[in-house]
Amino acid sequence: MDKEEKKALAVKIEEKLAKEFENVSDYIFNHPELGGEETESAEFLVNLMKEEGFNVIFPYGSEKTAFRAEKGHGEGPKVAVLAEYDALPGFGPDGAPAHACGHNWISAVAAGTAVVIGRMAEEINGTIVMIGTPAEETYGGKITMLEEGLFDDIDIVIEAHLEERTDIMAPALAMDSLRFTFSGKAAHAAQYPHEGINALDAVRLTFAGIDAMRQQVASDIRIHGIVTDGGQAVNIIPERAECEFYVRGKKRAYVNTITRRVVNCAKGAELMTGAKLEISRPDPSFDDIVTIPVLGELAAENMKRNGFDQVYRSWEASPGSTDIGNVSNYVPTLYAEIALDDGLLFKVHNTEALKYANSEQAYKKMHQMIKSFAAMAIDIFENPETVEKAKKQLEEQKM
């Protein structure tokens, strides 16, 4: 069976199992769980992969809702398709979690791709791996998994996400999280203000310093913060105050530089007020996405043959941050953002997203992506030199 025949077989398998893949999306959409707590979703996906004859590790590493399922033949490349299945808080009834970011769709694409390739495992030289990655919306489970070496044997990573525009080399910003806690000295604000050390002043001066530096940073830098503790009563000099910031930018190296400057603003406020500063990082640091041209070419070719009219490659936008950026700095990665048809806009973290995340329109794009990713995996299995090209491009892009 040649490569084109294998791709045709993948399409037939996908179309035969189309309803089952829609059921994956539907189940996870209707069982929303927060990051790190995705027990039902993970178990559902794990059971599906076991039924399909995959070798499954669950839990995978220290993350209790992470898993790995693989199936293959021969000594060829290992291609991993990633699933995310955590929901967002507050978008459901009475503040319950809901899938306003479409992670149910991501899981269905990942499971569908794995199942299709798994069913034709004897026809390929390689291994398809589905990796369940928890808590993308919060602490970034992929980061912990990377630190534990759980991607060490993977050659290529692929993942797709619903978005407002189809882009096969989608950007994401590197991000650092900072918490500044200032400890001062309480005093009566009217009778003995001179005896107090105002921790809130230190917070205010930190904001002032950061605002002053904004003009002297590159245009891609985003610095946004909130006051999380501003004191207890108006007539008491605040002895404790706290603020948190995110620092984002296109490249990790430059974000590191800006983060140091933001920290210096807080240190300056400490010197000016006498309040003692404590610095912590409440959330993990996310890296920017490293795009791999050879994988982009494969994705574009296979998406066009499976019904995508227009495929963009890296558009100018104001992206967010995601833990797949960290993966992309370690393993050659194709991260695709996929738009709905008919002018429908899928905007993540928006109540409108709930209308489309598990809709017929989303199913259409899901089926197209499963076929496209399966074909892309076949290309990699048939041409293992693609892996070496991708790894070389990764190193070049990181320079």
Query: Mind listing the pLDDT tens digit for each residue in 308-348?
Result: 987 876 655 567 889 999 999 999 999 999 999 988 999 99
Given this model, what pLDDT does residue 80 score?
A: 98
Structure tokens at 122: 């004897």
The candidate with the shortest Cα–Cα distance to 292, out of 202, 169, 177, 185, is 169
| C-alpha distance across the termini of the chain, in Å | 40
Distances (CA, A) of 108 to 104, 145, 161, 203: 6, 21, 11, 45
The candidate with the shortest Cα–Cα distance to 79, out of 188, 158, 189, 146, is 158
SS3 per residue for 124-193:
CCEEEEEEECCCCCCCCHHHHHHHCCCCCCCCEEEEEEECCCCECCCCCCEEEEEEEEEECECCECCCCH
DSSP state for residue 123 in the 8-state scheme: G
Given this model, what pLDDT does residue 343 score?
A: 87
Given this model, what pLDDT does residue 319 score?
A: 75
Query: Mind listing the pLDDT tens digit for each residue in 66-110?
Result: 999 999 999 999 999 999 999 999 999 999 999 999 999 999 999
Three-state secondary structure call for residue 372 = helix
What pairing do the DSSP bridges indicate for beta strands 174-183 and 276-280?
Answer: antiparallel
Query: Mind listing the pLDDT tens digit for each residue in 197-241?
Result: 999 999 999 999 999 999 999 999 999 999 999 999 999 999 999
User: Stretch 164-174: mean pLDDT, rounded?
Assistant: 88
**pLDDT over 90 for what percent of the chain?**
91
Query: Mind listing the pLDDT tens digit for each residue in 276-293?
Result: 999 999 999 999 999 999
266: pLDDT strictly greater than 90? yes
Do the Cβ atoms of 364 and 372 come closer than 8 Å? no
User: Stretch 367-396: mean pLDDT, rounded?
Assistant: 97
Confidence of residue 170 (pLDDT cuts 50, 70, 90): confident
